[in-house]
Amino acid sequence: MVDMVETSVECCKIISEDVKNAIVLEGSPELGLIGNILGWLLVEELNMKQIGYIDSKEFPPLAVLYKGVAIHPFRIYSKDGIVLFLSDFIIPPNVSYDMSNAIVNWMERNNSKGLITFNSMVVMEKTDTVAVAANSKDALKYLEEYNLPILPFGNINGLSGALLTRTAIKNIPASCLFAEVLNQYPDPRAAASLVNVLNRMLDIDVNAQPLLKEADEIEERLKELAKRVQNENEPDSPIYS
């Protein structure tokens, strides 16, 4: 039987197996749901095993259906030296501080190599550029070899931002990958833009095609909806003759 270890802080706790010397990934649904969409792809493509979950009385009353089975809304997965913290809801701001401490405590106990978190940046026009930020100059220098633009200014919202500051305090290297989004709606194409970067960083081979296919289907439905709305707004006969 696998030992489940509890990591507790004031308002949340992690119940999971220990995984030593891993790279930790964090995916939670901010603008465009980038982290959540990418996280689910990693679970499927890498055939990751669930090793635990995070729990809190401050979480929304929610269960997630996966292949007909109700599962915990914030799960922890692992495979081949990679650990993924994956949430299916937006982390309440009052929980982010304690949760980030719990995750960093878990990383310290397991001597984790570092953290990569996923987020988004709002742009006026998409170019599929992936920008990066880090929690230290040394971590930023490591990212230079991937020739990715550095996001020089701005705020990092949600659990991503809390994790970058908490890992910095503990001298754990951490970085954040930003995908371009136009608005708050789910954007599988933006999430797919992170896949090639992540493949290079982790030396893995994840196929982004499922996300691109999903993006095509969403875009086609939006076009049909726009066309339907336009037809409904057109007058049956010209105003002037």
Q: Fill in the DSSP letter of residue 236.
A: S
What is residue 55's predicted lDDT score, i.e. its pLDDT? 93
3-state helix, strand, coil in the chain (%, to 5): 40, 25, 35
Q: Where are the beta strands (DSSP E) in the chain?
A: 5-8, 13-16, 23-27, 49-55, 64-66, 69-71, 74-79, 82-87, 114-122, 131-134, 174-181
Q: Fill in the DSSP letter of residue 134.
A: E
What is residue 133's predicted lDDT score, i.e. its pLDDT? 94
Quickly state the pLDDT bin for 67 (edges 50, 70, 90).
Answer: confident
Quickly state the pLDDT bin for 240 (edges 50, 70, 90).
Answer: very low
On whether the CB atoms of residues 152 and 158 are closer than 8 A, the answer is no
Q: Which residues pair with 240 in a beta bridge?
A: none
Lowest mean pLDDT among 3-12, 78-87, 220-229: 220-229
Question: In angstroms, rounded to a whole number, what is the distance separating the alpha carbons of residues 10 and 139?
Answer: 29
Q: Which two tokens stand for residue 238?
A: 């010209």
pTM, entire model = 0.88
Residue 237 has pLDDT above 50, yes or no: no
- Report which of residues 233 and 19 the model is more confident about: 19
On whether the CB atoms of residues 41 and 211 are closer than 8 A, the answer is yes
Q: Which two tokens stand for residue 232?
A: 């409904």
Sorted by where each begins, the domain ranges of the chain are: 5-207
What is residue 84's predicted lDDT score, i.e. its pLDDT? 98
Quickly state the pLDDT bin for 40 (edges 50, 70, 90).
Answer: very high
Q: What confidence tens digit (pLDDT) does each residue in 149-196 have?
A: 998 887 888 899 999 999 999 999 999 999 999 888 888 888 999 999
- Report which of residues 181 and 229 the model is more confident about: 181
Question: In angstroms, rounded to a whole number, what is the distance separating the alpha carbons of residues 16 and 3?
Answer: 8
Q: Which two tokens stand for residue 221?
A: 């439905």
Residue 105 has pLDDT above 50, yes or no: yes
Quick one: which H or E segment has residue 214? helix 209-233
On whether the CB atoms of residues 38 and 197 are closer than 8 A, the answer is no
Of 92, 139, 146, the C-alpha closest to 117 is: 139
Question: In angstroms, rounded to a whole number, what is the distance separating the alpha carbons of residues 92 and 218?
Answer: 28
For a pLDDT cut of 90, what percent of the chain falls above it? 54
Superfamily of domain 5-207: PAC-like subunit (3.40.50.10900)
